[in-house]
């Protein structure tokens, strides 16, 4: 990366800072800061596992993304991650990050299970406790509301059909049960854009870490390896400022549904067919 991290503030709180996020949204954000500047560093939140924090925090959030193909490997050091908090121990700090004036986006890669849905698709309130995305968001957004700050863009990047509307509906159900006035404030000030994401990011192996260290000359406990291809389609429905993701390959569109349908039918369908044949 070619920017001064010390001169940038955290502008994004991301829930679920696993390998996919580091090879996708954080990678896009890193290049967007490099291309256009802005206070868009990421505070990562690991909802349950402290391992990612233990990997990244001693490295000041720095890690490598290696793009690997038949043509060879290309390595990039990513500087977009500022620090990592853990949901099971850092709830107060997470709420404070969400309530900071510089924060404008909360994003999510928490898998389908992280949305705490019942069999009928409604919110399972027994699962959506204080340590869930809803409990943590509720605490942080209540602080923003009390401070007179604007709402956030709440950006789901999970492989969940119509993910933005699903998150909006489920957050509304959580607020209806816990804080209806906060729910009305969220409806008035926050937005929930839909997204479609695509990039293959396998689990990092010891051999991958050794290869990155050989190329970098330093050990990287948080290294990720991925394919050269990536795609990020985002509904252009933000509550406030955003990084220039569109300057580095992301697509800002009015309707994500056609892209989502193409992925499900062409990519996921082909993957399933290969799996069945295998």
Per-residue confidence band for 270, with pLDDT thresholds at 50, 70 and 90: confident
> Each residue of 175-199: pLDDT tens digit?
999 999 999 999 999 999 999 999 9
Per-residue confidence band for 275, with pLDDT thresholds at 50, 70 and 90: very high
> Each residue of 39-97: pLDDT tens digit?
999 999 999 899 999 999 999 999 999 999 999 999 999 999 999 999 999 999 999 99
Asked if 259 and 196 touch (Cβ cutoff 8 Å), the reply is yes
Per-residue confidence band for 102, with pLDDT thresholds at 50, 70 and 90: very high
Neighbours of 274 (CB within 10 A): 9
Q: Round to whole Å and give the CA distance between 265 and 245.
A: 26
Q: What integer is the mean pLDDT of 27-36?
A: 98
User: 270 or 36: which carries more pLDDT confidence?
Assistant: 36
Asked if 5 and 96 touch (Cβ cutoff 8 Å), the reply is no
For residue 1, the model assigns a pLDDT of 92
Beta strands in the chain (DSSP E): 10-15, 41-46, 63-69, 72-78, 81-86, 105-108, 153-156, 195-198, 224-226, 231-235, 251-253
Neighbours of 236 (CB within 10 A): 13
Mean pLDDT (the chain) is 96
Residue closest to 209 by CA, chosen among 221, 196, 193: 221
Q: Which residues contact 201 (CB under 8 A, 6 or more apart)?
A: 19, 20, 23, 24, 224, 225, 226
- pTM metric for this prediction: 0.95
Question: What percent of the residues of the chain are helix, what percent strand, and what percent coil, each to the nearest 5?
Answer: 45, 20, 35
Bridge-based pairing state of the strands 153-156 and 10-15? unpaired
Q: Round to whole Å and give the CA distance between 50 and 269.
A: 35
For residue 28, the model assigns a pLDDT of 98
For residue 265, the model assigns a pLDDT of 85
Q: Round to whole Å and give the CA distance between 152 and 20.
A: 23
Q: Which residues contact 61 (CB under 8 A, 6 or more apart)?
A: 44, 79, 80, 81, 82, 83, 84
């Amino acid at each position: 990366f070619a920017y001064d991290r010390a001169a940038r503030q955290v502008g994004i709180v991301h829930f679920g800072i696993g390998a996919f996020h580091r090879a996708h949204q954080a990678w896009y954000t890193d290049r967007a800061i490099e291309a256009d500047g802005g206070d868009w560093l990421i505070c990562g939140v690991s909802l349950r596992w402290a391992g990612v924090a233990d990997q990244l925090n001693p490295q000041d959030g720095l890690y490598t993304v290696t793009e690997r193909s038949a043509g060879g490997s290309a390595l990039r050091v990513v500087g977009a991650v500022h620090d990592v908090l853990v949901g099971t121990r850092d709830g107060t700090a997470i709420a404070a990050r969400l309530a900071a004036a510089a924060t404008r986006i909360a994003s999510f890669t928490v898998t389908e299970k992280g949305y705490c849905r019942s069999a009928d698709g409604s919110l399972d309130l027994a699962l959506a406790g204080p340590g869930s995305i809803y409990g943590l968001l509720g605490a942080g957004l209540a602080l923003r509301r009390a401070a007179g700050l604007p709402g956030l863009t709440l950006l789901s990047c999970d492989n969940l059909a119509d993910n933005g509307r699903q998150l909006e509906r489920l957050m509304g159900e959580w607020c209806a049960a816990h804080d209806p006035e906060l729910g009305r404030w969220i409806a008035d000030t926050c937005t929930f854009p839909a997204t479609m994401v695509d990039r293959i990011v396998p689990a990092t192996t010891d051999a991958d870490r050794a290869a990155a260290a050989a190329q970098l000359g330093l050990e990287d406990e948080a290294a990720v390896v991925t394919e050269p291809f990536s795609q990020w389609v985002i509904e252009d429905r933000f509550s406030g400022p955003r990084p220039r993701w569109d300057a580095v390959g992301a697509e800002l569109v009015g309707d994500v549904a056609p892209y989502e349908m193409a992925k499900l039918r062409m990519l996921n369908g082909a993957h399933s067919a290969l799996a069945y044949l295998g």
